[in-house]
Amino acid sequence: MKFHREGLNIILFTLSLLALANLVMIFIFPVIYVYHILFWVFCGVILVLVLRFFRKPGRGLNSAVDDILSSADGVVVAIEEVDEPEYFHEKRIQVSVFMSIHNVHINWYPIAGKVAYFKYHPGSYLLAHHPKSSTENERTTVVVEDIKGRKILLRQIAGMVARRIVCYAKEGASVEQGSEVGFIKFGSRVDLFLPLDAELLVNLGDKVKGRMTAIARLAD
């Protein structure tokens, strides 16, 4: 199993902390009892959770012409027509994918093109399901424009637990569909804002995979 570079320091810190805790346990209680075994099981569970969270799966790119791929693993929790006030200043279709702590937390570009806009917003840490989290939580906004001039806005949103958004986007940079746009540590949400004439290919409650699930299809 491969691990994402954003998690290497946390993995090393977790290993060091668990090793130190075990040394202290053995030093204070040198005779092995049942509670030693319970503590080792607890340490094993913590380590497995951390390793799973930062896993980087080998995954192909499932794309067709004009497809908008999911930028995250998770569950579709919102599909609605909204006014997008930051960049487009007009109505767009918003598709939101919620990532639990059990999902892969890498985020990917939904289309290929050029980064037309990027901005980081400090903010609150409301629950990711909260309606105001899209505009009030800590978040990043990335707009990608393809060769036909069609634009998709991607928004990484921190939640109550997630306190660290990583985004690699740089305005003017050319990006490939399915390449990494960033990482959200410990769960949260990704919103995509699509043109009104995009053909939706998912429904509320659908489980999606980044780089693989087509969220919608752009009109030519």
Concatenating the DSSP letter of every residue in 143-199 gives EEE-TTS-EEEEEEEE-SS--EEEE---TT-EE-TTSEEEEEET-EEEEEEE-TT-E
3-state DSSP assignment of residue 60: coil
List, by residue number, the catalytic residues.
188
* Contacting residues for 109 by C-beta, under 8 A, at least 6 apart: 71, 144, 154, 175, 176, 177, 178, 179, 180, 181
Q: SS3 of 124, please?
A: strand
Query: Rounded to an integer, what distance in angstroms lies between the CA atom of residue 155 and that of residue 131?
Result: 14
Long-range CB contacts (within 8 A, 24+) of 10-16 = 10/50, 10/54, 10/185, 11/50, 11/51, 11/54, 14/46, 14/47, 14/50, 15/47
